[in-house]
Amino acid sequence: MPMRCGIATAALALVLATAAHGQERSAHANYVLLCSGCHNVSGQGSEQGGVPTFPGSVGKIAHSDRGRTYMMHVPGVVSNSMSNAEIAAVMNYILDTWASEEGAKPFTAEEVTERRMAVIPDIVVERRELTYEMQDQGVEIAPYPWP
């Protein structure tokens, strides 16, 4: 419970600070507010919750064309209120924070716009197929617990 309270307090502080200054939130602030609820502030996700970890995985996914499209359709991206430019900034924050050594190219707002228009009927099936495709190429990514 104390950890949740601390995260909630930090998130509230970010929202209030942003509103007070009348500016867009930083990529870090957007990550904390809109992504850390599932992926945690540490990027570790939750195997029990079915949320993959970022370290050692997200950069590999971002190296794949299919993976980059997949990233634009995960529930937290599909359901948030950020602009495509803000999504690109958060994705780049994630890559810089947890995958800088993997050298994935940065996202642009234009790429985010294009990839979000792709139709992915079932994100669980897409992740499973992406995982198999990457394994066939000898690339291991974080486990995905959904069948």
Q: Are 74 and 123 a contacting pair, CB within 8 Å? A: yes
- Report the distance separating Cα 65 and Cα 118, nearest Å: 12
Residue 146 lies in a domain: no
* Tokens linked to 24: 């867009």
Residue 99 lies in a domain: yes
Residue 100 lies in a domain: yes
Residue 78 lies in a domain: yes
State the pTM of this model.
Answer: 0.82
- Give the HSE-up count for residue 43: Cα atoms under 13 Å, Cβ half-sphere: 17
- Largest Cα separation within the chain, whole Å, is 50
Residue 141 lies in a domain: no
Distance of CA 47 to the CA centre of its chain: 15
Considering its fold, how many domains does the chain have in total? 1
Q: What is the CATH number of the domain that holds 119?
A: 1.10.760.10
pLDDT in tens, the chain (147 residues): 444 544 544 444 444 444 444 457 999 999 999 999 999 999 999 888 888 999 999 999 999 999 999 999 999 899 889 999 999 999 999 999 999 877 899 999 999 999 999 999 999 999 999 999 999 999 999 888 776
Residue 147 lies in a domain: no
Residue 145 lies in a domain: no
Dihedral sign from CA coordinates of 83, 119, 104, 110: negative
- Report the distance separating Cα 58 and Cα 101, nearest Å: 11
Q: What is the pLDDT of residue 98?
A: 96
For 106, the domain range is 2-136
Q: What is the pLDDT of residue 94?
A: 97
Q: What is the pLDDT of residue 20?
A: 42
Residue 19 lies in a domain: yes
